[in-house]
Structure formats: structure tokens, C-alpha cells
Structure 1
């Protein structure tokens, strides 16, 4: 099978990340497996769009375009998908940089025609220079990174993680795009899970398809100081619970929570035990990590309960008006 052409989509929304955006684009342009194009999708920020257009006016491999849908990451990604030319579309966060062989690892996996999506490993780059002693690796998803509990190597998974992921174009033709009612929308609450919902829909549409994570496809994701504190940790955990409730409503609890059950019953108890052991041995942060895991679970569960209640109320209201349009992606 011939090597696929890969379009890279980077969604940006604020000039506060100007240097990060430039670094992200530079990392794509330095790939050992060259991208077909880099699409910078700007989320309803004309000033940022104009500034990026000036910066890349003479670049033949970089295009800047506005989000053509409602505000939010899902719409931005959908805009990139619709505009891109590649057989494969890869997504990179605007505050991350990819290692040189990032796209090469993706391309290698697509040699198997059954493969519809490939994700990679996302490493945190802490603004303070080091991981906070209390911050458990099991919760690195809080800051958009690969967390302890994911299997190593190149393995099949239920879903890839959106900030470091790629999809074959035919995947979107089979399942549609990202749901605009689930992920981040520019508001204050850091919602997510739009890639989980998409991957579950994709598996249903293409049961023969394969979804992979290859931990050699590495990006480095910047974690600002404001996200290194416990207040953000709790806010993000609660928002994750809300998002999981939306996913469960959209695709059903069986698939929507399948991986989360294993994570909650195996990975997290082991993390608590490890933290308590470290505390007994006098190692820094052990008790804090164990406590953070317990707090994170309870907070996420609270978010899920609130989200589920809201979803039921909306379902009742929809049924009462005779509107049966279903989930947010339909």
C-alpha cells in the first residue's frame, strides 16, 4: 500500500498562545515524514487569524482558515477535515510540539488497510519545570496527556486521544465528524471526550476497523502553571464527569464507559496503594497522590451524576415537545 498523504490540523483560538502555535507548526514542518499540508483553523478570533495569515503569507505548506461552524474545538476540527486534502488527517494541539518521527509512526500503521485511526503518546511539559509532587500520573489526562494505565507499544484501543491523533478520511465518511455538543466550546468549563464519542460511533459504523495507539508517536504538551494546581484538577475532573455523561447519552453506557470501568476498578486502586506505600516509605508526595486520586474519582463521579440528571431532564423535555432528534451529533 502506498504511503498516505497526511494533512495536519491545528486548532487555535487565542493570541496568548502565539509562540506555542508557531512552535507547533515548526514541529510539523520538521517531520521526517513530510506533511502534505498544515491547516491552522482559527476559532472565531479575526485578529489571530489575520496575524497568522501575515506570518505564513509566503508558506506554501501552511494554510490559515476560520472555523466555519459554531465556536468550539469540535467545529474547528470539522472545518479542517472538510478543507484538507490528505488521505489521513492528523490533529495536533496548539500548545504542543511533535517529535520528528510523529507522522512517520502514523503512516507506518496505516499500511494495514483495516486501520482507521492512530493515536500517540503525549508527554507533559510542566511550566514549573517538574511534576507537582501530589499530581498522580494516573490523572495526566487532566492536563491533556497520556496517563498511567494505558497499554504500552502499538496496541488496539477503544478510542484515541484528540490532541495527538489521526484518522483515515474514510473514517469520517463512515461515521461523520466530531460532535459539537460535547467538547470544548470556548467556555470556562474544560469539557472533553469528543474523540471518545467519535471513535465509538466509528467502531459501530465499521466493526471491521482497527483503532490503535502507538506510543512511539510522541508529542510534548505544555502545561501552564494555572493547570498545576489542585483547583484546576478538581474543575477538570468534574468536567470530565459531565462529558462522560454526554457520551453515555449519545452512544450508550456500555460502550461509553467500557474503558472507564477498568480504569476505575484496576488502575486507580493500584495508584492509591502505590501512593500510600510511598508515604509509608517517606517518599515526597505519596499521601498527596493517593488523596488526589480519591478526590478525582469522587469529583468525576459527581460530574457524571449531574450530567446524567441534566441529560434525563433534557430527554423528558424533548419527549414532551415531540422533538426526537436524539444525540448532539445527529
Structure 2
């Protein structure tokens, strides 16, 4: 990719070393040149790094504080690329993620970019294009799923980028002071979006720049997505509303937020994931956090420094191929052996394993670095599809290969 923009991929990790390893395994398969990797991690994450491919080519920043904004700023300070891209440690990028995410920056007016995020099943979307206002409320944007859309923000009406799938020109980020450390866990990227909107910034939304987000357990959320604590969410809302929302509206917006969080907690309780006392505890934490957020001093952000270390290109395998293997459930062992052989050769591997059923499809990136799509031959692989559709095996393989070919990078005719 002669003349391609240099990209720094920043990953912040705290308390999830296994997820970090899987994320880095996915990043190692990216089809983009040149990019570097900056990992900002706690002790557990740093200890996990030696077992990761090309670990010697990762810029590792020690960071133990529970503050994602400050951690991201530490990553920006170390980033030497013209573009800084962010992905969470419990996410995995599609191999073509950077190709699509960075493409919009060819227009010099573009200062930010965002992509789409898929959920745990690898099919449904957690987030797509949206606008966000000064009350933190999002409005979906109708986008062409096959092309990049450039959008200019206006004060109080920002183009939303998701923290696990976003990129910015480093020069813009540094001039703005990066992310505000008053947001220790939540709303940090939304605050940045609104600060960019004040400048009338242009954001590129790239639907084909996709990552898979696992929602792994953390200090604030269990693996089943039930909240453990809402105090930092409350604190971030206090900071956000005080900074962006008109004073006359804040009380009503805060009341709406409290009602929304209570409904969320009650849904978990009805599902058996929380008990009534948990709901009371969570709401008390939300209120206490809000009071804490009101007391957090708001300081002007200073520009971030230039990196002290040069750009560290992540090693590429230009000979690597994107391989598609297909079979039925009874071919599991054969497919597993073939996939491992291809991975050992450094190739990117996708496995389609379809049963004679109408089971919904799932997509997973395994700990061995293999993309696996499983489900029924006649089942849904897109939630807009009919419940059952009759396919021949060869026809379904062709259709699924075409569906993901621009994400996975293999020939749709494979």
C-alpha cells in the first residue's frame, strides 16, 4: 500500500488478559500496511503479552489506574501514526477493519471515523451509525451499508463514534488534549465527539469497518452483562451534563437516565440475574456517583505531547492468504485439522460448518485465530432474513462467502 497513511492501533486493557490475547491475535491478521500497535495495560495484561504473536513489535505502556480516558491519552502520547485507531481488549477486528476505517481520511477534511460493531453472536449489530446530542441521546442515521458516508457535525449535534471502533487524526486529538480524564469509564468518546462538533468536524462512517465486541466481564459488568456497579456511570453523566446540556434541561435528563437504569436493572432481575437488593444497591451507587461527578474539577485540557519513540511497524505477511474451508458437522475434525494447518502457514482462515437444520448462525473468532461460522443450512445469518429459507449446500456456501467477502478478504467465488 504505497503512500498509505500510518496508523497506530491503541488497545487499553484492564483485568482481561485472555481477552487481550485474543484481540491481539485478531489484530495480527489485519490487512493493512503500515500500522503499529500500542497496548496500554495493567499488570495482568502486561504479563499476557509475551505469548502473543509479534509481541516484540508492540509498544507496551504500563498503566494501572482505573481510568480509560487517561489510559487512552497515554496510548495517544506513544502513538506515532498519522491516524490513531482504538479497539477495546474484548473486541476482535475483521481482517479488513483498518482498510475500511482509514479510507475516509483520504479526504483532508475528515478528522474522525467510525465503523459498525457486531455483538457476541457475530451476526447482530450492537451499534451502527448515529448522531448524539448534548443530552447524550442517540439518533440512528440511515447509511448505505456498502460505502463510506462523510458527515459534518454541528454544535450540540455530534456524529457518534464507538470507543471500540473509532479513529482520529493524531494531530487533531493531540490539539484537543485527547480524552477528558474526568470520564473514568463512560461517555469519554461521546464528550470528544461533541467537542469535535463544536468545530464543525467531518466524520467518516464506514459500515464495512467492523469489529466483534464480546462484552467480557469487567469490574463494572458481569459476563452475562448484568451490571456490578453504576457509580462511575453516574459520575460520568454528572460531568457530561454539566459540560454539554443546557442547565434548564439537566434535571429532566438526569431523571430520564435514572429511570432508564432502573428499568435495565429490573430486566436483569426478572431474568434471574439480579436480586431486589442488587437493584437497590445499583441505584444507590448511581446516585452516589452522580454526586461525586458534580464535585470533579473541570480543568482545561492541555495538548498532548509528540511521541518520543518512532513509529514501530507491525510485521506483515504479504504472502498470507485468506482461506475458506467448508463442511458439515460430521466434518468437524477434518476442518479443524485443515484450519490449524493453514494457520500454522500464517494464513487467515474462515470455516463454514452448516448443519441440515434451521438453526440461527453464529460467528466466533477462536483462541487459535480461526473465524468459525456455524448454524443451519436453512437458518438465518442475517436477522432481516426469513426464519427458514431452502438452500442447497453449495448455494448457501456461495451466498455466505459473498456476504462476508469484503470483511474477511477472500474471493467470494472460493
The normalised TM-score by structure 1 is 0.63
- Map of 1:25 onto structure 2: 24
Paired residues for 1:76-95 under 5 Å: 76-95=71-90
Query: Shift of the alpha carbon at 1:48?
Result: 3.6
Root-mean-square deviation (Å) = 4.2
1:115·1:212 contact (CA, 8 Å) conserved in 2? yes
3-state SS of the aligned residue for 1:228? coil
- Map of 1:159 onto structure 2: 160
Unaligned runs of 5+ in 1: 142-146, 185-191, 273-284, 290-299, 316-324
1:121·1:217 contact (CA, 8 Å) conserved in 2? yes
Residues 252-285 of structure 1: CA deviation (Å, up to 9, x unaligned): 2159x99x98xx8xxx9xxx9xxxxxxxxxxxx9
- Map of 2:190 onto structure 1: 196
For residues 208 and 176 of structure 1, the distance between their equivalents in structure 2, rounded to whole angstroms, comes to 17
3-state SS of the aligned residue for 2:118? strand
2:233·2:289 contact (CA, 8 Å) conserved in 1? no
Matched, 1:125 2:120: yes
* Larger Rg belongs to: 2
1:171·1:202 contact (CA, 8 Å) conserved in 2? no
Paired residues for 1:1-330 under 5 Å: 2-14=3-15, 17-43=16-42, 45=43, 47-52=44-49, 54-56=50-52, 59=55, 61-67=57-63, 70-125=65-120, 150-153=140-143, 154=149, 156=151, 157-184=158-185, 192-204=186-198, 207-224=199-216, 226-228=222-224, 231-232=226-227, 240-249=233-242, 251-254=243-246, 314=295, 326-327=298-299, 329=301
For residues 116 and 208 of structure 2, the distance between their equivalents in structure 1, rounded to whole angstroms, comes to 7
Q: 1:152 to 1:215 in 2, by over 3 A?
A: farther
Q: 1:159 to 1:329 in 2, by over 3 A?
A: farther
Q: 1:235 to 1:203 in 2, by over 3 A?
A: same
Q: 1:247 to 1:34 in 2, by over 3 A?
A: same
For residues 86 and 208 of structure 1, the distance between their equivalents in structure 2, rounded to whole angstroms, comes to 24
For residues 12 and 200 of structure 1, the distance between their equivalents in structure 2, rounded to whole angstroms, comes to 25
The normalised TM-score by structure 2 is 0.51
Q: 1:227 to 1:149 in 2, by over 3 A?
A: farther
How many residues align? The count is 255
1:174·1:202 contact (CA, 8 Å) conserved in 2? no
Q: By percentage of residues, which structure has more helix?
A: 1
Unaligned runs of 5+ in 2: 131-136, 144-148, 152-157, 272-281, 303-414
- Map of 2:407 onto structure 1: none
For residues 285 and 301 of structure 2, the distance between their equivalents in structure 1, rounded to whole angstroms, comes to 21
